[in-house]
Structure 1
């Protein structure tokens, strides 16, 4: 008979992701990650033999699967551009709990000029977000160069609003930014 896990994998990954969102990769010790999951450190090492790096990679893979099923299809679908942006901003509001949640992609980013598997996965995710947003901008009439600039501006606004909202403890910063996002992409 197979031994049942003390914590279901999806619950464990969610808890680990939350720990990384709270304190970042460097701030998350194995003791903290153990506490977040309710598992012993030895149980974590049994599940993740390569330690915190493997945990971070699997948390990113989980996030990536979510984006591939819930966010990227919105941007690449056949809906009108305005509807895509409405759905995208709604999804971002949910993903970031209306601005109360830090961005996992930011919190797991490696130090500048230090490549690792997480950094590569994060770059690929941002590139796919850029490509999807560019597709929406082009569908609304933007040239390739303009679409790229608009897509970059959306990601800059999104990430910046998360930092500012957290820094000044004012979630309305994030809400106002979400209201501006469609106009950035859809402007004539």
Structure 2
């Protein structure tokens, strides 16, 4: 058996870029193949179900990234809530390249992606809310306030990514991260 020419992580990151840039519907197999230097036949060999299976692999990758870079950071009680918040926000800043990259959730949340990936989107969004609610509780906010803050984190980040793209300025994203930090620190 010949070794694969493209590592799985490299493929997933390249596929994520194509889907982020074009949306699920707009990302063609040709675009996906070209992004990583494979032929379409090689894509079908790795992913017999085609684009849907590739998008699922991307969503799984993002889910694992979130667990390692957000959930695990927030759960690390050996660090202060402030340290956990700052690290989580820095990781978010990095994955979205300072607000220059679209969110994969947005890219698959339009039809037909919404129909195909509604369970994954629901799980992912609930993970965001759960993690940031836990962090707010660690800061000493009450249950209801923590839930509201966590929802605002998700809405703020996702919304600011869209606004940053539309207005061609990542300042909206960066300001949102600063506002999230202030919201948690100003108890």
Instruction: Sort the TM-score into its range (normalised by shorter chain).
Output: over 0.9
Preserved contact between residue 81 and residue 138 of structure 2 (Cα < 8 Å): yes
Residue segments in structure 2 that go unaligned for 5+ positions in a row: none
| Correspondence 1:37-186 to 2 at 5 A | 37-78=36-77, 79-111=79-111, 115-116=115-116, 118-186=117-185
Preserved contact between residue 108 and residue 114 of structure 2 (Cα < 8 Å): no
Preserved contact between residue 102 and residue 161 of structure 2 (Cα < 8 Å): yes
Distance across 1 between alignment mates of 2:25 and 2:184: 35
Q: CA deviation at 1:37?
A: 1.8
Preserved contact between residue 24 and residue 107 of structure 1 (Cα < 8 Å): yes
Residue segments in structure 1 that go unaligned for 5+ positions in a row: none
Stretch of structure 1 that moved more, 64-73 or 155-164: 64-73
Q: CA deviation at 1:114?
A: 5.3
Q: CA deviation at 1:138?
A: 1.2
CA RMSD, 1 decimal: 1.7
Distance across 2 between alignment mates of 1:113 and 1:13: 17
Residues 114 and 155 from structure 1, CA distance in 2 versus in 1: closer, same or farther, beyond 3 angstroms?
closer
TM normalised by structure 2 equals 0.93
Q: In the alignment, what sits opposite 1:19? A: 18
Distance across 1 between alignment mates of 2:30 and 2:112: 26
Distance across 2 between alignment mates of 1:32 and 1:11: 15
Residues 113 and 125 from structure 1, CA distance in 2 versus in 1: closer, same or farther, beyond 3 angstroms?
closer
Preserved contact between residue 137 and residue 143 of structure 2 (Cα < 8 Å): yes
TM normalised by structure 1 equals 0.92
Distance across 1 between alignment mates of 2:166 and 2:156: 15
Q: CA deviation at 1:100?
A: 0.4
